[in-house]
Each structure stands twice: as structure tokens, then as C-alpha cells.
A and B are shown apart, each in its own frame.
Chain A
Amino acid sequence: MRDFFTLSVIVATVASGIRLATPYLLAGLGETVGQKSGVLNLGVDGVMQLSAFFAYWTMLERGSLILATLVGIGVGLVMGAIYAFVTVVLQAQQGISGIGIFLFGLGFSDLMFRRQVGSPRPVPQLPEYGIPFLADIPNVGDALFQHNLLTYFAFAAVPVLALMLRSTTFGMNVRAVGENPQAADSLGVSVGWTRAFAILIGNTFAGLAGAALVLELGIFQPNLTAGLGFIAVALVYFGAWRPVGIMSGALLYGLVAASVLQMKALQIIPRSASDIAAMAPAILTILALIVLAGRVSAPAALTRPFSR
């Protein structure tokens, strides 16, 4: 255990914790915007698997990180348009239709991977850039200011989304249709379009999260997410529908995961314990849900389809 508490190990653990937090953060932020508008999207995990595969495939075929990231975003947009159609126009029950999206993503990414790629081949990972000056601070710089662009983007999105939800007209409309769609409608806010845009934003973030996951790993395998997208949905409850709360939760999950990996590498914990440690995010989530139940309140119209 003493090996773990050396400066270099702690710096490495914090750095990898922040990197591991990125997909959680991106997916959780997107889900927050959707849920604020009253739409639960349980399909995040499926969208992430789809975007992860297509980003990976693009990397294999074209070798361009920018193109791969754009493809990930594109997959998110397409799935967002589908989910908006299903939940806003057809008014399908949200929890279950999200499971449908999840199954489609799981199956289709697996199908495409086996058919088009076959066996996993590594692709170049996202390069890391130091932020000028800040990255030169000893230790702190390596831990906090030496990351890939998607990680920077994810953390930069926290204040931007918080501000958007709080102060812009669109953000206020999102909150209004999530709390009281009838009242918003009577004031001339289009509930359908507002929700559709919120869903598009949410799924775009999910698409980006899938791309970030696979491009940080540099390899794809079927069921790559292993439930990460579902935990991101739970993160929204954990973070009480506030971007800063989501960030704290994502960082906690990332740091726990990084510490486990690090302790395994240092042989502080036995290999077999890693299966037990892999339960940590799910157990943490259940405990958080127990503690938070009744203390935080969800958007009042969450999961309720709207019709005049």
C-alpha cells in the first residue's frame, strides 16, 4: 500500500482518473440536458457503442482522429433524431424505448464489427496536449493539464452547459418544458421542438462519449461500454441534474477506477479482486441513489409524453 502513496503514482492515478472520467462526463452531461427537458434516454449505452464502433472503423480505414470524432458526433445526431421522433412524435414510453435503442446499438455495433473488422486491431490513440504554462507546473501540470482534446472539451462543457441551462432562452425553455409542459405551451414555447433539440444535444454528447471512449483506448470490442452508458444515466441522479454535480460524480468514478487499475498494476490487490472492484461504480451508484432519494427532485415532467 505504501507504494501507492508516492507522488509519481498519485500524479499518474489522478491523470488517468480524469481521462477515465471523460466518457462518463460527456454522456452524463448530454443526458442531463435531455432529462431537464423531461425526456429520459436509457439508450445512451447503445448510442455510445454505435458511435464507438463507427469512430473506430473510421480510424482503421482513414486514420484520421478528426474524422473519427466527427463520425462519432454524426452517429449521435442520427440516433438523436430517431429518438426524438420516437419519444416526441410517436410519444413512446421512454424507459422501454430506450432499452430498444440500447439493444439496437449493442447488436448493430457487434454485427458491424464482426462483419467488417473481425478481430480487434489497435488504432492510434488521442494525443495529449499540455496547456501552455499550466502544464509546466511540477506534478500538478502532469495530473491536470496534460490531456487529450476531448477531455478538455468535456470539462469546458460543464460551465457552458450550466450557463446555457440557467441563463439562455433555450435553456429556460428546456427547464420549463421539463417542469411544466402545459404552462410552457400556453406561453407559446414549442414543447416538441424544445424537447427534440434537447434530445439532439444529449445524443450528440453520447456520440462524443463513445468516440472518446474508443479513441482513448485505441481498440474496439463488442459491448465495449460494459454498462458505462447506464451508469452515466444514473450519474444524472447522482449529480442532481446539475452539470457541476455530474462532473463531481464522473471524477469520483474515474478516480476510483484509476486507483483500482493502479493498485492492480502495483500488485497491491490481487488480480482476482479486480472483478470485485469492477462492481464499485454500480454499487456506488446504488448507494448514492439510496442516500439521494427524496433529497433531490427530478424534473417534474420527466418521462411524461406531452400532448395538448
Chain B
Amino acid sequence: MKRLVGASIPLMAAFVAFLFGAIMLLAIGANPWEGLQALVSGAFGSGDRIAATAIKATPLILVGAGITIAFRASVVNIGGEGQIIAGALASTAVGLSFDTLPALLFVPLLLLSGVIGGAIVGAIPGALKAYASVNEILSTIMLNIVMVQLMNYLLRGPLIDPLEVEAGTRIPQTERLPDAAALPVIIPGTRMHLGFPIAVLAAIGAYYLLWRTPLGFRLRAVGHSPNAARAAGIDVKRNITYALGISGSLGGLAGAILVYGSEGQRMVTDGSAAGFTGSAGFNGIVAALFGGLHPLWTIPSSFLFGGLLTGATNMQRALQVPAPIAVAINGIVVVFVVSSGKVRTRLDRFMDARSELNES
């Protein structure tokens, strides 16, 4: 029974969030029932749309699984946006430096460079937290701002498509990346590419890492009680750095997938982080919380939120309701999920460990 109540909390939160969504629709003069229909059919109405939903879910799964790993070690990673951008920039830079390579070699190389880019940007706040007691919530948010501006600088300057300079249009985007680097489409006739199964595998890998490996055991031990972990001979500082580094590496992988799974096959900026990431760094937090901070539950949860994003796009087409309504609904989901008892208890436990860490 207790289990049942626990599982129903996210559903209640979702219900309340949709209620608020309906109120928002009414407030701007749209019909909530038509809105819901457009949302659901836009998200899951056809094979094509399910594929689009899966593609939107891909970065959420990765960021969400990463956030779960960080949380289990009692560190908070709000730097998803910056880590996605880091991975995208790293993989773009590598992709631009080869004219062509066999796809079998090229694609893994690019994904790996994304992983490394994200890991570095994740490990910096981790190390700052571990060795200089810098609050990681603040430092990850600050690194988001730094990475956006780095992206803007690189795409407007050093990495800009020479054709854009020639034509004088100067759209801040890189040149088209080699075709051999594109993530192969796995269901012909849709946009569904290799990124989605990679993300699912990564989430399963995160589960395996946390509960089936010595490293995962150490991370969770640090998350339960840093003092006890230290007494048991675990290097707490190093594991804090690992936790945020691994968390960031998954964001970086999401960034590489965003670039090489994109239709334009290039990186482009509109000046904001969300313009490139689609706010996946924040939406991934929503998906992870909704999935109860368990890497495997992050998969279906991300699929739902991916559906919310594609559904909102459809709602914009059908009812002229701007798509950012999805972001607003996500915010409400977060507030409700963290207000609900079970998740709260679990978060409190991590937070206790976190303040133990701060004090020691």
C-alpha cells in the first residue's frame, strides 16, 4: 500500500500540473479540452510523432540519469545546460577537424569527445566543491552562463561557417559537419536515430554503475554519510568530483547527440542556452525528479516529458498556444514533486548528507 501511495505521487503532481496548464490555457483564451487533444495527439498520435517524442526525450534521459548519479552522491547538478553545450562544442570541434572517417570510427569518436567535454565542465564544480568548499548549486549555474557565452563567441567567431562570412549573412552557426558523422536513422521513414537507444543504454549503465560496481558503491556511501564513508577509507573528495564529472559526461553525450542528430547537422546559436539545448539541462532535472531519482525510471519519465515538448509544439500549430507553456508546466511539476512527502524524505536524506559534507 505504501509503495502504491509512493508511486502515485508523481501522477498526482502531473495531474495538478495539467490542471494548472488548463487554467493557463483558459487565461489566454484557449480551450483546454482542445489543448489536451492537440497535446496528446501531437506527442503520441502517429509513428512519426512518437519518434519525435523519443528524440526530444533523448537528452532528458541522459541529463536525468546524470542528475540521479550526482544526487545519489549528495551533490546537486544544475549545470546540465552548460555540460550539454560543452559536449556539443567539443564534438563539433573534433568533427570539423576531420574531412571524413569511416562512420564506424567517426560516430564513436564524436560521442566520446562529447562525453569528455561534458565531464570536464562537470568535474570543475565537483573539484571546487570537494577541495575548496564552493557551493556546487551556484557554481554549476555560473558555468551555465559561462558556457553559453563561450558558445556564442565560438559560433560567431572562430567556428563560424566560412560561407556565412562570404555571404555577409553571418548567421552564428558552424559549417555543415561531415555526413559520415551523422547519427544513423534506425527506423527508416522517421527521424528516429541512434541517439535514443544510446541514451537508454546510458541510463541502464548509470543504474549498473550505481548498484553493481565498487565505484557506484562508494558514490552511494558518500551520499548516505560522508563521515561514515570517510571512516571506511573512502576518498570522499575524489568521489564527489567523480560524481559531478560522470553526471556532466552524460550531459556532454546529450550535447554531441543534439549536434549529430540534428537535421542541419551543425551547431547553431540564437544567443541563449535554450536556443540550442531546448532547456534539456533543466527539463532533465524535472524528468529525474519525476522518476524518483532512479536512473531506470528516468527513461519512461523522460519519454513523458519529451511528449509534453512535442505536444506543445503541436498545440502551438493547432491553437496558437505558444510552446513555452511546456516549460511553465514543467516548473509546476517540479514544485509539486518536491513538495510531496516521499520524494521530500528522500531529498532530505541526501541534503542531510550534503550538509554533513559541508561541515566536515
Contact = CB atoms under 8 A, between A and B. Distances in A.
Given A115-B322, A275-B152, A281-B145, A103 B331 contact: yes
Interface residues of A, number: 52
B335 A101 contact: yes
A100 B325 contact: no
Given A100-B333, A275-B156, A276-B153, A107 B328 contact: yes
Contacts of A104: 327-328, 330-332, 335
A112 to B, nearest CB: 7
Contacts of B339: 86, 90-92, 97
A289 interface: yes
Contact of A115 (B28, B334, B335): B28
B326 A282 contact: no
Of residues B76, B134, B321, which shows the largest number of chain A Cβ atoms within 10 Å of its Cβ?
B134
Contacts of B279: 103, 106
Interface residues of B, number: 53
Given A103-B328, A107-B326, A107-B327, A93 B139 contact: no
Nearest to B142: A282
Of residues A106, A110, A282, A293, which shows the largest number of chain B Cβ atoms within 10 Å of its Cβ?
A282
A237 B344 contact: no
A140 interface: no
Contacts of B355: 303-304
Given A95-B76, A115-B322, A293-B132, A103 B138 contact: no
A284 B26 CA distance: 44
A245 interface: no
Contacts of A282: 142-143, 145-146, 149
B180 interface: no
Contacts of B328: 103-104, 106-108, 111
A294 B285 contact: no
A234 B333 CA distance: 25
A290 interface: yes
B248 to A, nearest CB: 15
Interface in B116-156: 128, 132-135, 137-139, 141-146, 149-150, 152-153, 156
Q: Which label, helix, strand, loop or mixed, suits the secondary structure of the A interface?
A: helix
Contacts of A108: 24, 324, 328, 331
A272 B153 contact: yes
Given A105-B331, A290-B128, A303-B351, A96 B145 contact: no
Contacts of A99: 78, 282, 285, 334
Contact of A91 (B128, B331, B344): B344
B333 A92 contact: no
B135 A237 contact: yes
B155 to A, nearest CB: 9
A276 B149 contact: yes
A116 interface: yes
Interface string B248-272: 0000000000000000000000001
A278 B151 CA distance: 12
B328 to A, nearest CB: 3
Contacts of A96: 76, 285, 289, 334, 338, 347
B19 interface: no
Contacts of B326: 107
18 contacts: A86-B335, A92-B338, A92-B344, A97-B335, A101-B331, A110-B324, A111-B328, A223-B272, A226-B272, A230-B142, A233-B138, A275-B152, A282-B146, A283-B142, A286-B128, A286-B146, A293-B132, A304-B355
Given A97-B334, A100-B338, A101-B335, 18 more contacts: A42-B137, A93-B351, A97-B339, A99-B282, A104-B330, A104-B331, A107-B327, A108-B24, A230-B142, A234-B142, A272-B156, A278-B145, A278-B149, A278-B152, A285-B142, A286-B134, A286-B143, A294-B133
Interface of A: 42, 46, 86, 90-93, 95-97, 99-108, 110-112, 114-116, 222-223, 226-227, 230-231, 233-234, 237, 272, 275-276, 278-279, 281-283, 285-286, 289-290, 293-294, 303-305
